Structure 1
């Protein structure tokens, strides 16, 4: 008993209690008992006086009888609950009528005790009441802190249920120039039209609304364009999260990245000469958005044309570089190639990493500092282009005259071939028609392609030689043979890559 009383004393600091009883003797005895435990004890002798005492002192606990003059206990409780629904009420009654129990339940009475009350029973009731009050107050503090975080986020934050906005933060109100959500609903009656159409951005289409698309892809980052109350079209990155254990409840977060001036990059025609493509700070800012949203990027590398792709997480970002953590397979090819491409749904273009500052195999991390947007995407490669076996043979003919010097295939696909040649005959230019012969090895046997007609697509002049890209259309037999070769060659390159002992060539921890 003493331990329970001490526990109640500890929990009841700054908590007042009101006792309402018309029996003078019981009232005096209870006052004596409660004053030993609570610092603030208030006494009333009928329901009317009890209500007045409550309004005056606002105690968090009320102990009351039911049958009292002027105002009975239930009527007093209704008035108190109307003022403060969270007030905890304990009823002490000599009667056990069902109608009283039902009334007490409807009024959310915390405990219903029978007179004459035993002190241990009362102490247990008071202890449980105080535990409940403390839990509610802790919950209120937690919710208040969450509300503060919610309101003072730099991002626009929205809670949505059944495709309707039900809660928004202060930043949302500022963006749309409104005071509350009701004003927004009056003005924007159809949220499907909230996101404006922009190439490669998220917006509603005849086949799907932007909300449905976001719900189908929780956690994915989407580019969006929204007009604010000033008429400015802003570039924001959207992420939708599901709320656990709450059916069809979602949190939407919009991060405004307009100042990065990236919208033009999504116009492929303008992107080629867009100065923003080399803006390192823009890329680092987008990487911060990805990191803050706990999303991943993908690293792309090629080993003799073989694509090697793995996910990576962003470990650190500063104003000069960023650090990624990925699997050892990707680290291996990075250490060989000394460059890579990074992709994300947030990037308007793939990011080319021309300089790898540091590779740490022990911690599986890479530090990258020389970055820019690529003019083409790694995903744009429609056909597999592989470096052929070393024993291949290739010969080119222009006007039935063989090209002088050596000819070496750098990579080959179903529709093109890239070659290195020692000399470029006079008259060869973009669009020139030539013929070629190619011999490859498939499973140890020769695989020949004769009299192939091709056109020159690109010519690159080097110091001592030329790179030339030819386009062609193969007949069904040749294309099937080449597909078989490319499939077999991929397997060979995978085995070759796995067999490379990179550690014998480079230290585990090194800088480039």
Structure 2
């Protein structure tokens, strides 16, 4: 009992008690008990006086008799409950009739006890009442703060039931220029809310945008919406289900219009777009990825062997971003010193030109040099691999052998990048060159001899790289396919055996 009284004292600073009893002796005894555990105690001797004192002092606990002059206890309780439904009512009565118990239950009485009051039982009831009030107040504070967060965050946030909006935040009302969801529903068709834009989410003949988002929960979508000013805005959408609430979802829209990204989704208009160099644009998009707890993918190559792994963004600031990934990717990044990352919300792949730091123990990488890539890591239609060192390569121009040494940097079914010491005069884009490449396949020598067209020329300090495009005859095509298949297996084994501390150079580029 001592522990209970101490708890009541600690939690009842703002909890007043009203005791209503017409028997003056009983009233005095209970008042003495109440003053030991409550700082604010009010006494009344009939129901009408009790109700008036309740209106004046607003106590959170009322203890009352039933049979009293002027206004009986039940009538007073009914009026109090109409004013403050959460008030805790404790009945003290000499009567034990079932009718009184049923009435007390109907009125939502907190506790029903016999008169004269039993001090331990009354303290126990008061203890339970104070704990209940404290819990309700904490819940009310939490819900108020939650509502404030819901209303005043920058994102548009919506709670949906199936395909209907049922609760929205203040940002939503401001965006659409409405007072509430009812006004929005009167003015708008939800199915037509998102406007058509290349590679964006919108309603199509085969599916509404809502159904598409529900079928792909957690995926980030680019969307285009019109605000109440008639302005087209670019927003990133994400939909999540509400656990244990069937057909209920939370929908969020993050406005990224100021990044001027919408034009980037027109591939023909964006090849030379200046935003490919805009570091802040990339960092802002990465922040959206992080805020939505979405994954990105890291693409890398070991001698042409594609290595793709998921990663999560753990930090983004104005200068760099930090990601966490698997050990396989950490290993190839230490070798290659760069990587490409992709996300469903990126208009283009992002090439990370250098690694600021790498922590193998914590599996994190920090990147501070990045740009939109001119080509996608997924654009490759054919496997290009670096051949083994034991290969041969000879180039001929106008039936004259190139001077110096030549070697294959990488090779595919339709192309080869050749490094050569010298470049004869007259060779330019489109020039026809004869190439002969010898490769070892399962202990036998295969030779690819064909005409190739110069696709690209790269001038280095001491040599040149020439990219040749060709069409192989069927036998040579079958040979190179088999060679590339075997070479992939060799490279997988080689990569697994690498000790990153040896820092084996990887000269492959994308």
Note whether the superposition's TM-score is higher than 0.5: yes
Match of 1:359 in 2: 358
Cα distance change of structure 1 residues 23 and 285 upon mapping to structure 2, 3 Å threshold: same
The separation in 2 between residues aligned to 1:100 and 1:487, in whole angstroms, is: 88
Deviations 1:24-50 (Å, cap 9, x if unpaired)?
443333233323322222233333333
Residue 498 (structure 2) pairs with residue 495 (structure 1): no
The separation in 1 between residues aligned to 2:78 and 2:198, in whole angstroms, is: 60
Match of 1:298 in 2: 297
Alignment TM-score, normalising by the size of structure 2: 0.88
Q: Is the CA contact (8 Å cut-off) linking 2:78 and 2:107 kept in structure 1?
A: yes
Match of 1:31 in 2: 31
Cα distance change of structure 1 residues 66 and 356 upon mapping to structure 2, 3 Å threshold: same
Residue 481 (structure 2) pairs with residue 459 (structure 1): no
The separation in 1 between residues aligned to 2:477 and 2:207, in whole angstroms, is: 39
Deviations 1:20-73 (Å, cap 9, x if unpaired)?
334444333323332332222223333333322222221111122334444443
The separation in 2 between residues aligned to 1:339 and 1:6, in whole angstroms, is: 64
Deviations 1:276-312 (Å, cap 9, x if unpaired)?
1111111122222223333333222111110112233
Alignment of 1:80-479 (within 5 A): 80-188=80-188, 190-394=189-393, 401=399, 404-405=402-403, 407-421=406-420, 438-449=437-448, 456=453, 458-463=455-460, 464-472=463-471, 475=474, 479=477
The separation in 1 between residues aligned to 2:393 and 2:99, in whole angstroms, is: 101
Q: Is the CA contact (8 Å cut-off) linking 2:417 and 2:465 kept in structure 1?
A: no
The separation in 1 between residues aligned to 2:407 and 2:98, in whole angstroms, is: 99
Shifted more, 409-418 versus 135-144: the winner is: 409-418
Alignment TM-score, normalising by the size of structure 1: 0.88
Cα distance change of structure 1 residues 161 and 78 upon mapping to structure 2, 3 Å threshold: farther
Match of 2:507 in 1: none
Q: Is the CA contact (8 Å cut-off) linking 2:394 and 2:402 kept in structure 1?
A: no
Unaligned runs of 5+ in 2: 505-510
The separation in 1 between residues aligned to 2:479 and 2:76, in whole angstroms, is: 93
The separation in 2 between residues aligned to 1:91 and 1:424, in whole angstroms, is: 104
The separation in 1 between residues aligned to 2:301 and 2:7, in whole angstroms, is: 68
The separation in 2 between residues aligned to 1:191 and 1:101, in whole angstroms, is: 52
Q: Is the CA contact (8 Å cut-off) linking 2:351 and 2:373 kept in structure 1?
A: yes
Shifted more, 83-92 versus 410-419: the winner is: 410-419
Deviation at 1:323, TM superposition (A): 3.0
The separation in 2 between residues aligned to 1:351 and 1:446, in whole angstroms, is: 40
Match of 1:41 in 2: 41
The separation in 1 between residues aligned to 2:443 and 2:20, in whole angstroms, is: 101
The separation in 1 between residues aligned to 2:194 and 2:125, in whole angstroms, is: 55
Tell me the C-alpha RMSD between the 2 structures. Answer: 2.8
Q: Is the CA contact (8 Å cut-off) linking 2:454 and 2:466 kept in structure 1?
A: no
Q: Is the CA contact (8 Å cut-off) linking 1:403 and 1:425 kept in structure 2?
A: no
Deviation at 1:395, TM superposition (A): 5.5
Cα distance change of structure 1 residues 10 and 349 upon mapping to structure 2, 3 Å threshold: same
Deviation at 1:380, TM superposition (A): 2.2
Unaligned runs of 5+ in 1: 507-512
Secondary structure of residue in 1 paired with 2:66: coil
Among 484, 494, 502, the alignment partner of 1:504 is 502
Deviation at 1:11, TM superposition (A): 2.2
Match of 1:59 in 2: 59
Q: Is the CA contact (8 Å cut-off) linking 2:334 and 2:503 kept in structure 1?
A: no
Q: Is the CA contact (8 Å cut-off) linking 1:352 and 1:372 kept in structure 2?
A: yes
Secondary structure of residue in 2 paired with 1:378: coil
Deviation at 1:343, TM superposition (A): 1.6
Q: Is the CA contact (8 Å cut-off) linking 1:431 and 1:455 kept in structure 2?
A: no
Deviation at 1:407, TM superposition (A): 4.8
Match of 2:508 in 1: none
The separation in 1 between residues aligned to 2:411 and 2:32, in whole angstroms, is: 97
Shifted more, 354-363 versus 114-123: the winner is: 354-363
Q: Is the CA contact (8 Å cut-off) linking 2:430 and 2:453 kept in structure 1?
A: yes
Secondary structure of residue in 1 paired with 2:37: coil
Deviation at 1:257, TM superposition (A): 1.3
The separation in 1 between residues aligned to 2:400 and 2:393, in whole angstroms, is: 11
Match of 1:510 in 2: none
Deviation at 1:334, TM superposition (A): 1.9
Q: Is the CA contact (8 Å cut-off) linking 1:424 and 1:466 kept in structure 2?
A: no
Secondary structure of residue in 1 paired with 2:250: strand
Deviation at 1:259, TM superposition (A): 1.0
